[in-house]
Structure 1
Amino acid sequence: MTTMARSLQDKLSALDPERRAHIEAEADRLHGELLTLRELRKAKELTQVQLAEMLGVQQATVAKYERQGDLLLSTLRSYVGAMGGTLKLTVEFPGREPVTLEGLGDTEDPVRRRRAAGGGPDNGARN
């Protein structure tokens, strides 16, 4: 039995047009996310070398972050924080107000952080 290698274009061409359009739209969306970190850094008029120094990493690491599509939240928080920004993660559900998640990517327990900020003791409730 022989197997022929197929290109991505061959595989996409074999899909129904609606499925192909969905895949191409998702690829465009992901590509836009990959450009976002680089554009954010450039908007702050920073080079990769400068940002790497601020983060305490090598320039190659910053380049990797900018190419990578799946960063840890703690890495993204550090990247944004080094430029003076704050990372906020908002969850939206249909028919409900958006909810901002706290503590994701932090190395500190959110309950301890709230207590330190005067948010009162934890009542042990879990939702």
Structure 2
Amino acid sequence: MATTLKTMMDRLPAERRERVKARAEELIAEELTLRDLRKARDLTQERMAEMLDIGQDSISRLEQRSDLLLSTLRSYVSAMGGSLELVARFPDRPAVTLSGLTGLSSGDTKPKRKSKVLKQARV
């Protein structure tokens, strides 16, 4: 017979159950998809596509991906009027904000297409 999550949680010491519950709540609070973020800003996929100079179908695919380039994510967030920060957290040190990883200036909201990047590299 399979063990249920409830049974496993009930077997844990009370302190451990509280830590698991607190961490689960943190993860749920932190979880916001790109789609949720776009909708919270009252933007349609069509409007995002216009702002980023790409097709609406590209926005749809982007919102469904779980693995994005930082430059793509930064462009998406910038188009909504936000900024992107990448923070590394370690258990034994303070959080560190990483910079210089996206290759975009803060004012550039349009991702470079692969063909443009390749042409620039050849020049």
| 1:67 matches 2:64 | yes
Output one character per residue of 1:27-61: Cα deviation in whole Å (capped at 9) or x when no partner. xx7xx96x610000000000000011001100000
Partner of 1:46: 43
TM-score, normalised to structure 1, is 0.57
Structure with greater strand share of residues: 2
* Aligned counterpart for 2:52 among listed residues 55, 66, 80: 55
Output one character per residue of 1:68-114: Cα deviation in whole Å (capped at 9) or x when no partner. 01000000000000000000000011121100000111246xxxxxx
Q: Which amino acid aligns with 1:51?
A: M
Alignment length (residue pairs): 83
Question: Any unmatched runs of 5+ in structure 1?
Answer: 1-15, 19-28, 109-127
Q: Which amino acid aligns with 1:82?
A: A
Aligned Cα root-mean-square deviation (Å):
2.6
Quote the Cα distance in structure 2 between the aligned partners of 1:54 and 1:107.
Answer: 16
Question: Any unmatched runs of 5+ in structure 2?
Answer: 6-26, 106-123
Q: What's the secondary structure of 2:72's corresponding residue?
A: helix
Q: Which amino acid aligns with 1:95?
A: D
Q: What's the secondary structure of 1:98's corresponding residue?
A: strand
TM-score, normalised to structure 2, is 0.59
Q: Which amino acid aligns with 1:100?
A: T
| 1:36 matches 2:33 | yes
Percentage identity across paired residues of the two chains: 54
Q: Which amino acid aligns with 2:37?
A: L
Q: CA deviation at 1:17?
A: 7.7
Q: What's the secondary structure of 2:87's corresponding residue?
A: strand
Structure 1 residue runs of 4+, over 4 Å off? none
* Aligned counterpart for 1:95 among listed residues 87, 92, 97: 92
